[in-house]
Amino acid sequence: MNHDSPPAKLVACPGCAGPSLYAPSNPFRPFCSARCKNIDLGAWASEDFCLPADTAQHDEFSSDPKLP
């Protein structure tokens, strides 16, 4: 039975585009540092990032004229 962990790899940090170690030894992965991770979290918290609204999908009540 092989208990070796998968090999670590370098990826581009989503915050600064610098090299980031994508491995369990990097607690900030996929970010390269706490700074990049916190900047990203702050951007989400201040709503600089948002997920697109799904307006194409209607729920079962969308055609009910009594509902707003």
Q: Can you spell out the DSSP letters for 15-39?
A: TT-SEEEESTT-TTTTSSSHHHHHH
CATH code of 28's domain: 3.30.50.10
> Could you tell me if residue 51 is inside a domain?
no
Q: What pLDDT sits at residue 51?
A: 80
> Could you tell me if residue 26 is inside a domain?
yes
Q: Rounded CA gap, 64 and 68, in Å?
A: 9
Q: What pLDDT sits at residue 25?
A: 94
Q: What pLDDT sits at residue 52?
A: 81
Residue found under tokens 């990826």: 11
pTM above 0.85, yes or no: no
**What tens-digit pLDDT sequence spans the chain (68 residues)?**
556 667 789 999 999 999 999 999 999 999 999 999 999 999 989 988 888 877 655 555 556 556 55
Domain extent, residue 40, equals: 9-45
Domain count across the chain: 1
> Could you tell me if residue 2 is inside a domain?
no
Q: What pLDDT sits at residue 8?
A: 84
> Could you tell me if residue 61 is inside a domain?
no
Phi first, then psi: give them for residue 54, nearest 5 degrees.
Answer: -95, 85
